[in-house]
Chain A
Amino acid sequence: MYQQVAWMVSIVLIALLAIAFFYVVRQSSREGNGAAVAAATGRWRGRLLWGVTLLCIPVVAYTLTELPYARGAIANLGTVEVQAKGYQWYWEISQTELPVGKPIEFQVTSADVNHGFAIYDTDMKIVTQTQAMPGVTNVLRHTFEKPGTYKILCLEYCGVAHHSMMTELHVVAQ
């Protein structure tokens, strides 16, 4: 969902920016009162700064309520723990058949260099990701809502066969 939101918001705001530039450039060959334009520019500057500030505060506040970082132990006894380790250029995953609807805790690390552990859904869209770093374990929690074959792709450049570092997860209904 966030992919579509990011795309639509970006396109709309860039389009508004382009309209502003086109309008001003079309007006640029006319001669205006410099002092009046400077005063108007100051007013627009204030509107822009206040407008963006008032828009951003609730957006930042809301999005910070949905952080993906795992803190503390999961109370749910049904949690499935999966160890995932990246190597140049393959994944070693302790369990590749996973249940729908149960929280999965991926404990992600690397044996050599940095890798990216990204889970793609059946439509090849990213659903979540974390980094796989040597000497560090990143804990990624995710609950699969649909059965199917998900793919793990490496999203951190790790050398000449980086693009072939893929594997699959089979999410099944119980």
Chain B
Amino acid sequence: MNMQKEMPAVGAVKVYAAISGVVILLMMLFGLVMRMTQGQMLPIEPELFYQLMTAHGIGMVAIAGLGGSAVMWHFLGKYVNLRAGFAWANLAFFLAGVVLVLGGIFLGGFAAAWTFLYPLPANGMGQWGKHAAAAYMGGVLLVGVGMLLFYLESARAIMQKYGSFARALGWHFLRSGQDAPPATVIASTVVTIINIIAILIGAVILTMMLVNLYVPEIAIHPLLAKNLIFLFGHVFINSTIYMAVIAVYEILPKYTGRPWNVYKPFVWAWSATCLMVLTVYPHHLLMDYAQPLWMHIMGQIISYTSSLPVLALTLTATLGSIYRSNIKWDLTSALLVLSIFGWSAGVIPAVIDGTIAVNQVMHNTLWVPGHFHLYLLLGCVTMILGFTNWIANKEKAVGFSGLEKAMLWTFACSAFAYALMFLLSGQASVPRRWAVHLPEWLVYSQIASLFAAGVVISAMTIIVRAMGGIIRPARQA
């Protein structure tokens, strides 16, 4: 690829990374405010709490998607010919969607949680009206359209280079042992396939709910709506990790001098993930007793199997790649290694919660944000921060300053302890998504607020320094 083609895409990636950093920071602040409110340390009214909760949820899902897209676009573009216009189009839809979502929430009062579970958006009980709900759901739809364009362009470019998804997934390599595609291409192909399906399903339910808002006679079966929403949501949020982990595959070898080789179990694992991530979502509906029994059983079994292949291989490969490698430690490499710990650690309580007997006493408690803050905050977000730092440093290892070491340790310990407080609260049956906690639960939120403050301060330092590195060359130009 020549420089004329490459430069606009590099610009888009930098804009993606910069927006991701700013929004991640803002969402962390929302999280801190919510935990302080639950601990009765801030006098926030429930109306505003639930608006912040809705914004925090959709904001993190969307920005994890955008940040992950930056990683995937940046590295996939080294192997296939991606057209930069699609990255900019995705960004335009994203920004238009965000304006609508924020307007719906903070001007219209919409607060039905990011999951917009049918029929709550149409039943605001006076807190929000149908136009606010339409702005929110229309905004999410626009973000989805942009992402769909992004993945369709990825699909086109992958097919152009490899001829078929089967070859891009490395199935020929399983037979012949020759000519394996790079790990980045395999992961990107899986994400492209599953997210095109997921976004289309999300668009279907969003459109159905938009119609229902204005023509209530056209009703949707609530259980069908829930299935569609969680299929879309589960696949999309998992994809953010699968995109962001490409940063580990591509960047870590530059620090260790050990290439990230593709071998047959790696190909098998990603192909298995492609199927399992689409079929595991019923574990979100284990407490909907009216679901068919086979879906409950499938939900539990695939919960145990879906995370294992790619995670186990990435975990062992990461540890194997740094063990006695004389790695050059800096903030980027440390964040990337930390992210694999966060992802792996989060999967443990997540899989346990996928056990029906456990889910019966843990579902919708703070156990749930406990496990997803491990693999999203300490996993996906940490991967995105590592990537952002990498491009801020012009894709070079730069060494560790004392401040960076202090902020890394503050971030790692605070984020870990913050997630553990959620798990501990879930173990004590504290519900999730409650603006006002009972007196006996306050101490959990108060301690968690301290750790949340640590996360915000350390992440702010890391992000602000990275932003400086990203913006500086543009000024010089």
Instruction: Please give the residue numbers on chain A whose beta carbons come within 8 Å of chain B beta carbons, in ascending order.
Output: 2-7, 9-10, 13-14, 17-18, 20-21, 24-25, 27-34, 37-38, 40-41, 44-45, 48-49, 52-53, 56, 59-60, 63-64, 66-71, 88, 112-114, 116, 118, 120, 124-131, 133-140, 153, 155-164
Contact = CB atoms under 8 A, between A and B. Distances in A.
Interface of B: 46-47, 50, 111-113, 117, 119-120, 123-125, 127, 221-223, 226, 257-258, 265, 287-290, 293, 296-297, 300-301, 304-305, 308-309, 312-313, 315-317, 319-327, 329, 337, 341, 344-345, 348-349, 352-353, 355-358, 360-365, 367, 423-424, 426-429, 431-438, 440
5 contacts: A10-B348, A28-B327, A49-B308, A68-B360, A163-B431
B371 to A, nearest CB: 8
A10 B316 contact: no
B163 to A, nearest CB: 30
Contacts of B428: 3, 124-125
B385 to A, nearest CB: 18
Nearest to A108: B289
A138 B288 contact: yes
A114 B221 CA distance: 12
Contact of A69 (B257, B296, B305, B361): B296
B115 to A, nearest CB: 8
A134 B329 CA distance: 55
B429 A125 contact: yes
A56 B112 CA distance: 37
A52 B308 contact: yes
B319 A41 contact: yes
Given A113-B120, A113-B123, A6 B358 contact: yes
B259 to A, nearest CB: 10
A13 B117 contact: no
A69 B293 contact: yes
Given A29-B327, A66-B356, A135-B223, 10 more contacts: A3-B427, A10-B348, A17-B344, A18-B341, A30-B324, A63-B358, A67-B293, A136-B222, A137-B290, A163-B437
Given A37-B324, A133-B222, A163 B293 contact: no
Nearest to A160: B127
Nearest to A109: B290
Nearest to A33: B324
Contact of B290 (A17, A30, A136): A136
Contacts of A37: 258, 320, 323-325
A155 B365 contact: yes
Contact of A7 (B317, B329, B427, B437): B427
Among B309, B349, B357, residue most surrounded by chain A Cβ atoms (within 10 Å): B357
Contacts of B123: 88, 112-113, 159
A14 B417 CA distance: 12
Contacts of B46: 160-161, 163
B250 to A, nearest CB: 19
A49 B314 CA distance: 12
A3 B327 CA distance: 40
Contacts of A45: 265, 312-313, 316-317, 320
Nearest to B361: A126
Given A2-B358, A64-B297, A158-B120, A24 B289 contact: no
Among A13, A127, A160, residue most surrounded by chain B Cβ atoms (within 10 Å): A160
A28 B324 contact: yes
Contacts of B325: 28, 31-32, 34, 37
Contacts of A131: 287-289
A137 to B, nearest CB: 7
B361 A3 contact: yes
Counting from the closest, the 4 A-B pairs by CB-CB distance are A32-B324, A41-B320, A138-B289, A155-B364
A60 B433 contact: no
Contacts of A27: 323-324
B423 A10 contact: yes
A160 B47 contact: yes
Nearest to A48: B312
Contact of B319 (A21, A53, A70, A126): A21
Nearest to B323: A24
Given A32-B325, A71-B293, A130 B287 contact: yes
Contacts of B436: 163-164
A68 B119 CA distance: 26
Contacts of A25: 322, 337
A104 B56 CA distance: 39
Contact of B289 (A18, A69, A127, A164): A69
Given A136-B290, A138-B289, A67 B356 contact: yes
Contact of A163 (B117, B300, B352, B435): B435
B288 A40 contact: no
Contacts of B321: 41
B316 A48 contact: yes
A140 B50 CA distance: 29
A60 B300 contact: yes
A129 B127 contact: no
A96 B288 CA distance: 23
